[in-house]
Structure 1
Amino acid sequence: MLDRKRAERVRELWKSASAAPWDGREVWFHGDVAVGNLLVRDGALAAVIDFGTTGVGDPACDLAIAWTVFEPGSRTVFLETLDADPSTVARASGWALWKTLAGYADDVDDGVDVRPDVAFALDQLLSDPALGGAGSVAGEGAGHRPEACR
């Protein structure tokens, strides 16, 4: 389970993400940009697959990989390359937090250790200085990037 410090940090992140404004301009989004849906050839992105959750709405949902896949330096480059404004970054962190906590809850409910990719994403979210984090607050196994990203 999350200790008190990490639980409070989760609440802070959620409040910030939930309060972040959106101009309401709807765009097409993929909805499940994740390691398993990204095909890489010769070290470069070759295709994005699985459009089962495609929709129209807030584009921030497709930026969750900034914390579920990328380490700090790569995350900065990713978000800067996309020219993501602070509000979009905050909302994207909320999408990443939602996805991460769903995996965390599944693992806790199943009585198993939190998966390394879930622990990685949670640590990235809670420790990201751009989101008000102050360095690592790693808990149950600091986790690691998903295998496909190494």
Structure 2
Amino acid sequence: MSVVVDENLVRRLIAQQFPRWAGQAIARWPSGGTVNAIFRLGEDMVVRLPLTNSGAKDVALEQEWLPRIAPQLPTPIPEVLGAGAPADGYPWPWSVYRWLPGENPLPETLGSPVPLAEDLAEFVLAMRRVPPVPAPALAHRGGPLATLDAETRSAIESLRAIPEENVDCDAVLALWEEALRIPAWGEAPVWLHADLMPGNLLVDGGRLSAVIDFGCMGVGDPACDLFPAWNLSPADARGVFREAVDVDDATWRRGRGRTLSQALIALPYYRTTNEAMAGNARHVIRAVLDEAD
């Protein structure tokens, strides 16, 4: 289904469903994400509208669970101010959130990578401590690594056909196969954000100021929340993060395998359409290969 999501649509939806905010300025917010359209609403709010049916499922998840877990986390997360309904030709539920200030971090411009790694570890540990019952279903990527095998191998073969990306496909395949041999998580599942990409993190003054986009959250293998070790942290900060999150070697290596898988799948898919996602995928592949040397 093709839906035009623009300022005019948002203005109509707000006027119909939240008339108290009808006079607020509306402006599209640039985002490297691929699932939602983002609009500033006045100075203190943001509107997120799914662009796909799969993204629409995340709306109900966030509306139900964000208010429950927010008091248990050390870092601000989105606060739902309004739950919008399908209307005016727009087919999915949507949300109004309180605006969270900050900027997405970039690996090459981190001002305080070690303190940021400590902040991220504190958030990951707090998510793990959220009581697992009640909880939503298995997180996206929360199951065994083997569930990612076919898609990861297919992505590696796609990269073999793109020599200009200069990916050592034999080396990443060997690392992926090594990850598949690691014992699966055998303990009770834990709460996960499950998508701790730079685009879902906000920093202010070099420190973590907020974590956003919980559409992949659920329970599962704690390795799923180790993404920042490779998609953001330089080697020294990575060591700080590893010590702080206190995972065993098998979980750490599963986390590295998951992060590598995500990057290998993202690179051929986004390389010509989303430079932020493709650039981070290249960074992850380099970081994982460097660590494995």
Task: Give the direction of change, closer, same or farther, for the CA distance of 1:107–1:39 in structure 2 (3 Å limit).
Answer: closer
Q: Percent identity?
A: 36
| Among candidates 225, 228, 234, match of residue 65 of structure 1 | 228
Post-superposition CA distance 1:28-73 (Å, at most 9, x none):
1111111121122332212211111101110111102211111111
1:20 aligned residue: 182
Task: Report the Cα offset of residue 112 of structure 1.
Answer: 9.6
Question: TM (normalized to structure 2)?
Answer: 0.40
Task: Answer whether contact 1:16 1:90 (CA < 8 A) is retained.
Answer: no
Task: Give the direction of change, closer, same or farther, for the CA distance of 1:57–1:13 in structure 2 (3 Å limit).
Answer: same
| Among candidates 185, 194, 209, match of residue 31 of structure 1 | 194
Mapped to 1, the partners of 2:273 and 2:217 lie a distance apart of: 32
| Among candidates 239, 243, 251, match of residue 88 of structure 1 | 251
Root-mean-square deviation (Å)? 2.5
1:137 aligned residue: none
The answer to whether structure 1 residue 120 and structure 2 residue 283 are counterparts is yes
Mapped to 1, the partners of 2:274 and 2:220 lie a distance apart of: 35
The answer to whether structure 1 residue 74 and structure 2 residue 237 are counterparts is yes
Q: Secondary structure at the match of 1:115?
A: helix
Max radius of gyration: which structure? 2
| Among candidates 36, 48, 64, match of residue 211 of structure 2 | 48
Question: TM (normalized to structure 1)?
Answer: 0.75
Mapped to 1, the partners of 2:270 and 2:202 lie a distance apart of: 27
Task: Give the direction of change, closer, same or farther, for the CA distance of 1:118–1:29 in structure 2 (3 Å limit).
Answer: same
- Give 5+ residue unaligned stretches, structure 1: 135-150
- Give 5+ residue unaligned stretches, structure 2: 1-158
| Among candidates 248, 258, 264, match of residue 101 of structure 1 | 264
Task: Give the direction of change, closer, same or farther, for the CA distance of 1:37–1:19 in structure 2 (3 Å limit).
Answer: same
After superposing the two structures, state which structure 1 stretch, 64-73 or 34-43, moved more: 34-43
2:38 aligned residue: none
Mapped to 1, the partners of 2:167 and 2:228 lie a distance apart of: 24
Task: Report the Cα offset of residue 111 of structure 1.
Answer: 9.2
**Which gives a bigger RCO, structure 1 or 2 (Cα 8 Å, sep 6+)?**
1
Q: What amino acid is aligned across from residue 12 of structure 1 in structure 2?
A: A
After superposing the two structures, state which structure 1 stretch, 72-81 or 112-121, moved more: 112-121
Task: Report the Cα offset of residue 23 of structure 1.
Answer: 2.0
Task: Answer whether contact 1:40 1:46 (CA < 8 A) is retained.
Answer: yes
- TM alignment of 1:111-150, pairs within 5 A: 115-128=278-291, 133-134=292-293
Task: Report the Cα offset of residue 84 of structure 1.
Answer: 2.0
Post-superposition CA distance 1:70-105 (Å, at most 9, x none):
111111111111112110111101110111011112
Mapped to 2, the partners of 1:67 and 1:30 lie a distance apart of: 16
Task: Report the Cα offset of residue 24 of structure 1.
Answer: 3.3
